[in-house]
């Protein structure tokens, strides 16, 4: 039988509930327990797949092809175990299930209501992963206590607190303890109010995690404990950390994991085994070199739009003991005239995924610069497609080469819609999604990087390399080094004469974790570091020659 920990949030959004949930899960996993995390989101979209990054940040894709909340990315990066469709549930999905059942006649004769029908469906899904052999299922509730949308979820937790044995269920509430500069004081009132609101909805937290910029004094802890009806050791300080990967260690110092184990009456655990985690943190904190990597995209002002890519850089940087300084370059403003000025100081170039035609010409110009200057290049999904278009236009001389996504009428559609996509009109969940097998050609860059000829990576796109042109590309020096095992679709392209030029149709960033950094990222950073070193040594040589 699994035990359940619910993580709620109060006062404001963006307090880092996902990171706290993932950190707690990491600690419990490090103590030998089998843990998973799921997220319940209160919005009405069935999944976040149709939301644009301005609304919701990155859309994270699981092996089984679910388009999910980006917090699932944190869960995988921390735990190194894959999540699935079951790990992310929205209000939309709950209602869709209940309404479909109603249409099928499952409730014949009954009025279908929020309580019990919607809350029953929420509870069913909350308990579902518990039947898959996990010791602990952590459930993060999206939104903030007091939101109208989150009421049915809080109500479901209230019911479960009664229905499950007391030692099988607990609630961790995350709040903010703001520091008022003028008063030089931490303020507990917002926390008191949010716990009060949660209590009014019938849920009493067992632990209060306080996000704070300043350490919590014993008096503040006592005050929160007193007003919020928890034990003083259950008031946990969550100070701002230099990196999210330090949070598990901060939580361990506060004994968050031990308090949970005690409440859940779990006695079978050992000292946390976090050697690899700590090794990673050491490498991250004390890098021996630095590279400047250009991230060419159109959502550069948004931290969350390229979340998994940025985190994969952190993992790969640590692996190389190298600090990765990501330079955001807005693709819309890159032109032939300014490309040197914008990209000249970089040591590597990653052209980002994306949709729609805004900014693509800038991406193509950036690829051209990297190809012609021997600058390490890594294209992901749309970034790979842009590298194909650039090669077609500037090497193969196909002046009209384009993707039919941006130019449906082009007579040189080197990137085209897949046959099975041509009839698709609905937008939700209809892309090529999830994990697909890929065969890698021997003795290619991809083969050297992966060290194998068979891989599986995750996809999220509709367009593909048009195999009609493959022979022409290969004859001119762009090789398809990875192809889908069944369909032969091109998944990886590379240019062997270039020091490091690789484009992938899939999203390798989704599988990079702290303990298993993604090999393409690791090797891209390595190549960029070598490029930087070469640049530096040729600068030194010129200087020495000038001085002698
Ligand atoms: N828009 C492109 C496609 O759908 C690329 C998608 C992506 O970068 N994820 O094929």
pLDDT, one tens digit per residue, over 300-330 is 777 789 999 999 999 999 999 999 999 999 9
In whole angstroms, what is the distance from residue 412 CA to residue 293 CA?
Answer: 32
pLDDT value at 279 more than 80: yes
pLDDT band (50, 70, 90) for residue 235 = very high
Q: Output b/e per residue, 24-44; b: 16+ Cβ within 10 A.
A: bbbbbbbbebebbbbbbbbbe
Q: Does residue 507 have an active-site annotation? A: yes
The predicted model gives 261-283 an average pLDDT of: 96
Over range 199-225, report the average pLDDT.
Answer: 96
Segment 250-273 mean pLDDT: 97
Q: Name the residue at shortest CA distance from atom 8 of ligand 1.
A: 353
381 is an active site residue: yes
Res. 538 pLDDT band, cuts 50 70 90: confident
Contact 544, 538 (CB under 8 A): no
Question: What confidence score (pLDDT) does residue 294 get?
Answer: 97
The pLDDT of 226-233, averaged and rounded, is: 95
Cα 373 to ligand 1 centroid, rounded to whole Å: 26
Determine if ligand 1 sits within 6 Å of the CB of residue 359: no
Compute the distance from residue 404 Cα to the ligand 1 centre, in Å: 12
pLDDT above 90: residue 425: no
Query: Is the CB of 526 inside a 6 Å radius of any atom of ligand 1?
Result: no
User: What pLDDT is stored for residue 302 in this prediction?
Assistant: 76
- Distance CA(58)–CA(51), nearest Å, equals 9
Tell which residue, 160, 130, 117, 118, has the closest CA to residue 38.
Answer: 130
pLDDT range class, residue 489, cuts 50, 70, 90: very high
Q: Within 10 A of 385 (CB to CB), how many other CB atoms are there?
A: 30
Per-residue confidence band for 13, with pLDDT thresholds at 50, 70 and 90: confident
Instruction: For residues 344-349, give the mean pLDDT.
Output: 97
Q: Tell which residue, 366, 255, 347, has the closest CA to residue 31.
A: 255
- The number of beta carbons lying within 10 Å of the beta carbon of residue 499 is 14
Q: Quick one: pLDDT band at residue 383, thresholds 50, 70, 90?
A: very high
The Cα 76–Cα 124 span in angstroms is: 23
- Chain segment 442-455, per-residue pLDDT in tens: 999 999 999 999 99
pLDDT (mean) for 254-274: 97
The protein residue with its alpha carbon nearest to ligand 1, atom 3, reads 461
Neighbours of 271 (CB within 10 A): 8
Distance 19 CA to ligand 1 centre (A): 28
Polymer length of the chain? 548
Ligand 1 center to residue 385 CA distance, Å?
A: 8
Q: Which helix (H) or strand (E) holds 483?
A: strand 479-484
Query: Is 90 exceeded by the pLDDT of residue 166?
Result: yes
Q: Tell me the average pLDDT of the chain.
A: 95
Kindly give the distance from the C-alpha atom of residue 366 to the centroid of ligand 1, in angstroms, as a whole number.
Answer: 18
Q: Tell me the average pLDDT across 368-386.
A: 98
Percent of all residues in the chain with a pLDDT value above 70, rounded to a whole number: 100
Q: 428 pLDDT band (50/70/90 cuts)? A: confident
What pLDDT, on a 0 to 100 scale, did the predictor assign at position 57? 86
pLDDT of res. 162: 95
DSSP character string of 106-153: TTTTS---IIIIIHHHHHHHHHHGGGGT-SEEEEEEPS-TT-TTTHHH
Nearest Cα residue to atom 6 of ligand 1? 461
Give pLDDT tens digits for 42-77. Answer: 999 998 888 888 888 899 999 999 999 999 999 999
Predicted TM-score (pTM) of this structure: 0.94
Ligand 1 pocket member 348 (CB < 6 A): no
Q: Identify the residue whose C-alpha is closest to ligand 1 atom 1.
A: 355
Ranges 117-126, 344-353, 401-410, 530-539: which has the least confidence: 530-539
C-alpha to C-alpha distance for 515 and 276, rounded to whole angstroms: 7
Q: Which protein residue has the closest C-alpha to ligand 1 atom 5?
A: 382
Active-site hit among 381, 438, 464, 491: 381
Ligand 1 atom closest to the CA of 464, numbered from 1:
10
């Amino acid at each position: 039988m699994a035990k359940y920990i619910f993580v709620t949030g109060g006062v404001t959004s963006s307090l880092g509930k996902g990171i706290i949930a993932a950190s707690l899960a990491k600690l419990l996993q490090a103590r030998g327990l089998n843990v998973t995390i799921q997220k319940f989101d209160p919005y009405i979209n069935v999944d976040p797949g149709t939301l644009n990054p301005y609304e919701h940040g990155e859309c994270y894709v699981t092996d089984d092809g679910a388009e999910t909340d980006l917090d699932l990315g944190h869960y995988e990066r921390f735990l190194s175990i894959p999540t699935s469709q079951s790990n992310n549930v929205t209000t939309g999905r709950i209602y869709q299930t209940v309404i479909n059942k109603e249409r099928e006649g499952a409730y014949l004769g009954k009025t279908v209501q929020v309580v019990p029908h919607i809350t029953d469906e929420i509870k069913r899904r909350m308990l579902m992963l518990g039947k898959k052999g996990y010791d602990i299922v952590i459930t993060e509730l999206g939104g903030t206590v007091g939101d109208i949308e989150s009421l049915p979820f809080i109500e479901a937790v209230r019911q479960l607190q009664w229905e499950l044995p007391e030692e099988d269920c607990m609630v961790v509430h995350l709040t903010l303890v703001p520091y008022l500069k003028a008063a030089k004081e931490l303020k507990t009132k917002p926390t008191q109010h949010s716990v009060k609101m949660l209590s009014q909805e019938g849920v009493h937290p067992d632990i209060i995690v306080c996000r704070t910029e300043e350490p919590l004094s014993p008096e503040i802890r006592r005050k929160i404990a007193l007003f919020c009806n928890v034990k003083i050791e259950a008031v946990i300080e969550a100070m701002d950390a230099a990196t999210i990967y330090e949070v598990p260690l901060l939580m361990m110092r506060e004994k968050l994991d031990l308090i949970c184990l005690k409440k859940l009456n779990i006695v079978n655990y050992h000292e946390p085994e976090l050697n690899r985690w700590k090794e990673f943190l050491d490498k991250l904190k004390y890098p021996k070199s630095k590279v400047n990597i250009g991230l060419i995209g159109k959502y550069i002002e948004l931290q969350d739009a390229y979340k998994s890519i940025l985190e994969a850089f952190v993992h790969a940087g640590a692996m190389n003991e190298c600090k990765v300084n990501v330079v955001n370059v807005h693709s819309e403003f890159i032109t032939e005239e300014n490309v040197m000025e914008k990209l000249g100081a970089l040591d590597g170039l990653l052209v980002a995924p994306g949709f729609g035609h805004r900014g693509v010409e800038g991406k193509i110009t950036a690829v051209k610069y990297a190809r012609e200057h021997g600058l390490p290049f890594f294209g992901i999904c749309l970034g790979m497609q842009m590298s194909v278009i650039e090669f077609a236009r500037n090497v193969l001389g196909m002046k009209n080469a384009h993707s039919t996504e941006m130019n449906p009428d082009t007579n040189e559609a080197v990137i085209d819609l897949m046959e099975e996509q041509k009839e698709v009109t609905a937008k939700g969940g209809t892309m090529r999604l999830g994990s697909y097998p890929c065969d890698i050609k021997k003795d290619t860059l991809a083969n050297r990087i992966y060290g194998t000829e068979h891989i599986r990576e995750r996809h999220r796109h509709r367009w593909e390399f048009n195999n009609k042109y493959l022979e022409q590309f290969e004859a001119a020096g762009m090789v398809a080094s990875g192809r889908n095992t069944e369909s032969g679709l091109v998944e990886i392209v590379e240019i062997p004469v270039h020091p490091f030029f690789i484009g992938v149709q899939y999203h390798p960033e989704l599988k990079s974790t702290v303990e298993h950094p993604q090999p393409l990222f690791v090797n891209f950073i390595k190549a960029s570091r070598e490029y930087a070193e070469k640049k530096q040594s040729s600068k030194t040589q010129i200087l020495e020659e000038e001085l002698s």
